Chain A
C-alpha cells in the first residue's frame, strides 16, 4: 500500500471581490486538503465561499477578484511523466488552461441547462477538449467521445453526438457535462452542486454515476453542496464553511455523529427528517453576515445561541479534536464552559447512527 498521496492542498486562501458596493471579503483564510482517490465535500450556505474557493483552484476566478494571500498546491503527473507540484495562484491563465483545466482538474457545474454551448453539437463539445489536450485526431476523439457518452449512460450515443443541447433533457445534459469533465481522464473532479438543478430521481442517478466513475477510474472528487443528504451519501471528509472560512473539518462520521461547531449543529438540525415529531423544520436564526463589512471575532457569533463573550472580540482558531477532526469554536477551549449539543439533535444523531448500523 503506497503512502497517501496529497493532490490538492489549499493553504490560507484569502480572496476578495471589488464590487460597485465596495470590497467583498469572500474567502478569509481557507485550508482544504485532498488525497488521491478520496472524496471531500464542502458544505455551507449560499455565499459562504464554497464555489469561489473551487473556482480559484480551477483558475476561473472572475476578473474583479483579488487574491490577497494563500497557496493552491496541485500535484499532477506532467507530460514527461514526472510528478509536478504547481501553485495555481502563481501560474498565468494560459498555462492553467493548457496544463490543468480539463486535463488534470475538471469541473461539473450546477445548472446543466445553461452550461452547454447552445450553438454547438454535443459531440463537438466533448471532442474539443480531447483534441486540445490529448492530441488525438478528429476521428479518434469522436470515437472516444462516443464511448464516454455510453459510459455516462446515454443510449444511442452515436445519434446524440449530433444533437444540440436543447434537444436533451436536464439529466441528459448533466451526463454530457460529466462526460466532458471525464474526457481527458482528470485526476480531480470538482462537482459544484451537480444535482441542485435536477429533480430528485435524476439527482440520485447522477450521484450514482459520479460515484461509479470515481470507483472505476480512481479519481478524487470534491463536492460543493448544501445538501447534507448528498454529503452523507458520497463523502469521505467534510469541510463545513461559513462566511469565507472553514469552521469544522472531519471525516463523515465525525461530522455527522460528533459535530463540535454550533454552526454544524444548526445545519444538522435543519435537515429534514421523517422520523421526527417536530411540526416545524428547524432553521438557523438570522442570515449569513454581509461580507462587505469586516467583522471582529467569530462571524457566526450573532446567530449562535452558545456564543461566548470572546466570540465578539477574537476569531477562534482551529481546535484539534482528533487526528482528522477539528473545529473553530471557542467552546473547545479548555477555559470555556462545557456546552453540549442540543438534546434533540443528540437524540436524532443517535437514531441516525443506529439506523446506519442496523
Chain B
C-alpha cells in the first residue's frame, strides 16, 4: 500500500508538471498580447517585452516561471488589479469560491445520498418516482437558471435573502448560490446512489445475506450501502472540482468575487492577462489531479479488491 501511494503521488506530480508546461506553451501561442497596443508605441512594447523576459528562449522562460511558482509566487497581473501580486488576489477569490462551493458540495452530497437511499428503499413507489423527476430536472436545468429563479422568489418576491453576494452578510448571501450550484451534484448523486443500491440489492451476495437471516438496517448498511457507494465516490470527484473551481456564470450573476469570475475577467478584459490565465490554469489542473489522487486512494480503502492488487497481488 505504501509503495502504491508513493507511486501514485509521484505520477500525479509529474502529470501536473507536464500540464503546467503545456499551459505555458499554449498561453504563449495564444492570439492577443498583454499590451493594449493602441495606447503604446512599438518601441515601448519592445522595451517592455525585453524587460519581462519575453524574448528569452521558451525553456528558459519556463524555468524562471516555475522557480517562482514553487515559492508560491505567480507574478503580477499584466492588466488586472493594477499589478497586485496574483497570489494575494487568488487567495481572496479562492476563499470565496471554496466556501460557497464547499457548502454546495456538502449539501449536494448529503441530500443526494439521502434522496437516493430513500428512493432505492421505496423502489417503484412515490419517493422513487419523485427522485427520478427531481434528478432529471436537476441535471437538465443549468445552475444559473435556478439561481435566477431563487433570486426572483426569495430576494425579489419574498425579500428574505440578499440580491447579490455580500461578504459582510456571508451566511445569508451564500444560500442562493450554494443551493443553485448544489442541485446538479444532488441530482447526480441521488440518481447514482439509487441505481447502484437497486443493483446491489438484486445481487447474489445480498440474497445470501438475507438467506443468512440479515434484514433491515444491518443488511442495508453492511452489505448494500458499502458496495453501492464505491461507484458513487468516483462520480462525485469531478463534481467536487467543478464546484470548488467556481461556477463561472453563477459567480458572475450573483457578483461573487471568486475564481470563476476571475477567469472570465482575465480573458475578457482589455488585453488578455496571461499571468492570471496561466495561474488559474495551473490551479484548476492541480485541483483536478489532487482530487483524483484522493479518490484513487479512497477507492483503495473502500474496495478491498483494489487495495490488494495494488499491493502486488496475494494469490488467486
Interface residues on B, range: 20 to 34
In contact, B204 and A133 (Cβ under 8 angstroms): no
Measured between beta carbons, the chain A residues less than 8 angstroms from B209 are 117, 128
Instruction: Flag whether A118 is at the interface (Cβ < 8 A).
Output: yes
In contact, A118 and B212 (Cβ under 8 angstroms): no
In contact, B204 and A115 (Cβ under 8 angstroms): yes
Instruction: Flag whether B92 is at the interface (Cβ < 8 A).
Output: no
For the complex, give the distance between the alpha carbons of A109 and B218 in Å.
21
For the complex, give the distance between the alpha carbons of A103 and B204 in Å.
19
For the complex, give the distance between the alpha carbons of A167 and B222 in Å.
20
Interface residues of A in 160-217 (CB under 8 A from B): 163-164, 166-167, 169, 177, 180-181, 184
Q: Which of A63, A102, A166 contacts B305 (CB 8 A)?
A: A166
In contact, B204 and A128 (Cβ under 8 angstroms): no
In contact, A119 and B123 (Cβ under 8 angstroms): no
In contact, B303 and A119 (Cβ under 8 angstroms): yes
Stretch at the interface among B21-29, B34-42, B308-316: B308-316
A-to-B contact residues, CB < 8 Å: 58, 60, 63, 93-94, 97-98, 100-103, 106-107, 109, 111, 114-121, 128-129, 132-133, 163-164, 166-167, 169, 177, 180-181, 184
In contact, A101 and B212 (Cβ under 8 angstroms): yes
Instruction: Flag whether B226 is at the interface (Cβ < 8 A).
Output: yes
8 additional A-B residue pairs with CB within 8 Å, beyond A107-B211, A167-B315: A60-B207, A94-B216, A102-B213, A107-B208, A117-B209, A120-B226, A167-B314, A181-B211
Is chain B's binding surface mostly helix, strand, loop or mixed? helix
Known A115-B204, A177-B208; contact A132-B213, beta-carbon cutoff 8 A = yes
Q: Which of B205, B207, B315 contacts A118 (CB 8 A)?
A: B205
17 residue pairs from A and B, CB less than 8 Å apart: A58-B211, A94-B216, A102-B211, A102-B213, A109-B204, A117-B208, A117-B227, A118-B227, A118-B304, A119-B230, A120-B226, A128-B222, A132-B218, A164-B305, A164-B308, A167-B314, A181-B211
Interface residues of B in 220-264 (CB under 8 A from A): 222-223, 226-227, 230
For the complex, give the distance between the alpha carbons of A129 and B214 in Å.
7
In contact, B212 and A129 (Cβ under 8 angstroms): yes
Q: What residue in chain A is nearest B223 (Cβ atoms)?
A: A117
In contact, A97 and B210 (Cβ under 8 angstroms): yes
Listed from nearest, the 6 A-B pairs whose CB atoms lie closest are: A102-B213, A97-B215, A101-B213, A114-B204, A129-B212, A102-B212
Instruction: Flag whether B292 is at the interface (Cβ < 8 A).
Output: no
B-to-A contact residues, CB < 8 Å: 123, 203-216, 218, 222-223, 226-227, 230, 302-305, 308, 314-316
Measured between beta carbons, the chain A residues less than 8 angstroms from B216 are 94
Measured between beta carbons, the chain A residues less than 8 angstroms from B305 are 118, 164, 166
Measured between beta carbons, the chain B residues less than 8 angstroms from A94 are 215-216
Q: Which of A121, A163, A167, A180 contacts B212 (CB 8 A)?
A: A180
For the complex, give the distance between the alpha carbons of A180 and B209 in Å.
10
For the complex, give the distance between the alpha carbons of A258 and B229 in Å.
55
Known A63-B123, A167-B314; contact A132-B302, beta-carbon cutoff 8 A = no
Measured between beta carbons, the chain A residues less than 8 angstroms from B205 are 114-118
In contact, A93 and B208 (Cβ under 8 angstroms): no
In contact, A101 and B211 (Cβ under 8 angstroms): yes
